[in-house]
Amino acid sequence: MSKVVVFGAGGKAGRAVIQEAISRGHEVTAVVRDPAKYDDLAGERVQLVAGDVTNVHSVAAVAAGHDIAISAVYDMASAPEPFFVGAAHALLESLPAAGVTRALIIGLVSNLEFAPGQRIMDGPEFPEGFLEFSKGHAAGLDVFRSATTDLDWLVVTPPMVLDEGPRTGTYRVGGDQLLTKEDGTSHLSYADLAIALLDEAETPKNHKTRISVAD
Ligand SMILES: NC(=O)c1ccc[n+]([C@@H]2O[C@H](COP(=O)([O-])OP(=O)(O)OC[C@H]3O[C@@H](n4cnc5c(N)ncnc54)[C@H](OP(=O)(O)O)[C@@H]3O)[C@@H](O)[C@H]2O)c1
């Protein structure tokens, strides 16, 4: 049994991660900005606390005493680049100081490659409306990649479609390239993403890198 602190605990991915973690017997600290909005989250093995993933003091305070941190955050109201860069810096600075050794961060499909060296977000048909958000996520990934840290971090990147489909218990793991099926589709459920995250939490296989996951 481990103690897992989950940032963005009230979101779709955060909730799936909590379900998967408690089903495996772990204890979870669910971090949300406003606990009053998420009182359904607290439970027998889930402690609900207030925290902000972009704030070094807040991350240090809520993470103390945990083994593993999982970040499943996204803030529609913030400018993406300062948000994801700020979160990356806060996690990198505060988690090791708080005694957390392993951090799993959910990434974004658009900075995966559709061909060697060619990111989806740089392709000619990439929608303009998603560019700023994609650049923000990519900048956060760059912060992890350029960090000199003892923290055993891993960015886990979902495929093109991430949805609330069933928990199948199966997923594939790739590297920087988008994983697709023979028909070109690229899909995973939040529940199966949570399995991939908890598998990496319990039995770390990939270290200080980015992986992609898909069904
Ligand atoms: N295909 C893909 O690559 C793909 C698809 C979907 C999602 N994602 C990524 O997966 C991650 C999780 O997505 P999701 O679908 O679960 O999003 P979501 O449902 O919107 O949840 C995100 C959560 O982050 C929380 N949050 C925002 N700012 C925060 C802060 N400063 N500190 C702590 N928590 C904060 C939000 O809570 P409050 O605002 O209530 O505080 C919200 O509950 C995101 O990074 C998203 O970009 C990737």
Phi-psi region of 88 (alpha: psi -120 to 50; beta: other; left: phi over 0): alpha
Range of the domain at 104: 3-214
38 Cβ inside 6 Å of ligand 1? no
Q: Are 69 and 95 in contact (CB under 8 A)?
A: yes
Q: How many domains does the chain have?
A: 1
Q: Which CATH number belongs to the domain containing residue 208 in this structure?
A: 3.40.50.720
β strands within the chain, DSSP E: 3-7, 27-32, 46-50, 68-71, 102-106, 113-115, 118-119, 152-157, 161-163, 172-174, 187-189, 209-214
In Å, what is the CA distance from 102 to each residue of 36, 143, 194? Answer: 29, 16, 16
Q: Cα angle at 209 between 207 and 214, to 5 degrees?
A: 100
Q: What is the pLDDT of residues 88-144, one digit of tens each?
A: 999 999 999 999 999 999 999 999 999 999 999 999 899 999 999 999 999 999 999
Beta carbon of 13 within 6 Å of any ligand 1 atom: yes
Share the mean pLDDT of the chain: 97
Distance 7 CA to ligand 1 centre (A): 9
Give the nearest ligand 1 atom to 108 CA: 3
> What b/e sequence results for 120-144 when a residue is b if at least 16 CB atoms lie within 10 Å of its CB, and e otherwise?
bbeeeeeeeeeeebbbbbbbbbebb
User: What is the per-residue pLDDT across 38-58, written as a single tens digit (0 to 9) for each?
Assistant: 989 999 999 999 999 999 999
CA 74–ligand 1 middle distance (angstroms): 3
Supply the residue whose CA is at minimum distance from atom 28 of ligand 1: 75
